Amino acid sequence: MAIINRAKREINAKIVYYGLDGVGKGTSLRYVHSRIKPALRGEFKIQSTAGSELVFFDFCPFEQAVIDGYRLRFHIYTLHGKVANPAAWKMTLKGADGLVFVAAPASGEMTATQQGLFQMREFLNAYGVGLHDIPIVLQINKIDTAGYPAASVVSSELGLADFKSFQTTATSGDGVLEVLTSLSSMVLGRIRESGELQSGETMASEASSGIDVCGQPSIAANNETLRVNELTAKPLCDEATVFTNQAGIEGLCVNVAPEGVCVEGSDVRIPIEISQSGEVRRLVLTVTVTPS
């Protein structure tokens, strides 16, 4: 579920590229990142997690707000290379708002791809999510490889014939942007239908994705760092918390409102209101959580 940060008026959505080792997930992410305007993208990052390499970055597909003052930010994740610990994939999939299943089944390798899809389905089921409960597109990569089966055969044998599919060559970028553009539109539509935003905050129907699919870079690092690990949609507290005066300062009161508290990767953002002697100051406390 997308995180709606009302304090920053920003919607954060998580997209995961899933697939076997060597199918072109990392290459796809690098190409997409290279085609985004520097002012709209975060830094391309690689971090070791659970014995695997987590590849990620974030970007805003629109320069302007798309939902009555709310900006949209996508956080893109994948695992690169051999994944020794399956728990790394399960962790990466948690809280995903959209999925790209990347397949590159050369002749005789369809069974491994089917097994990879089954494992992804099992991970999602552990979170109570089915394949039809979340926007998913099929990226059929390496179509320039000799002996490659037809796209219709791949989608049919994977049981994904009713999902959108795209043929790509990640090394050259052919078709890669179309994959993310399509999925982004689906995720955006899901956010609009969810009713999470207040009444009156409606989707700007005329907005279109800022991802370039016409040959000119349009969507890249403003030295902004993506906060990694998991995005959670659950509030951290259910009601306003008031901290009473513990330091003996006369008239001091600190208030935390639950609707503004959010988690962005390893950062917890907590809006606080400090009042003393009739004067009120509003601040945002950011706490970075790291493993012990």
| Digit-coded pLDDT (tens) for 148-177 | 778 888 999 999 999 999 999 999 999 999
Q: Please name the residue that has the structure tokens 């000119």.
A: 216
pLDDT of residue 99: 98
The verdict on residue 203 lying in a domain is: no
Please give the residue range of the domain that contains residue 19. Answer: 3-194
pTM score of the predicted model = 0.69
In this prediction, residue 57 carries a pLDDT of 97
Query: Looking at the 3D structure of the chain, how many domains does it have?
Result: 2
Let me know whether 178 and 252 are in one domain: no
CATH number, domain at 27? 3.40.50.300
pLDDT band per the 50, 70, 90 thresholds, residue 32: very high
When the pLDDT of each residue in the chain is averaged and rounded to a whole number, the result is 78
Q: Is residue 221 part of a domain?
A: no
Instruction: Give a yes or no: residue 204 inside a domain.
Output: no
Q: What is the pLDDT of residues 60-100, one digit of tens each?
A: 988 777 777 888 999 999 999 889 888 999 999 999 999 99
Rounded CA gap, 143 and 134, in Å? 26
pLDDT digits (tens, 9 = 90+) for 220-263: 333 333 333 333 333 334 444 444 444 455 556 777 655 556 66
Percent of the chain with pLDDT over 90: 46
- The closest of 174, 25, 159 to 103, measured between CA atoms, is 25
177 with 247, same domain: the answer is no
Model pLDDT, residue 136: 98
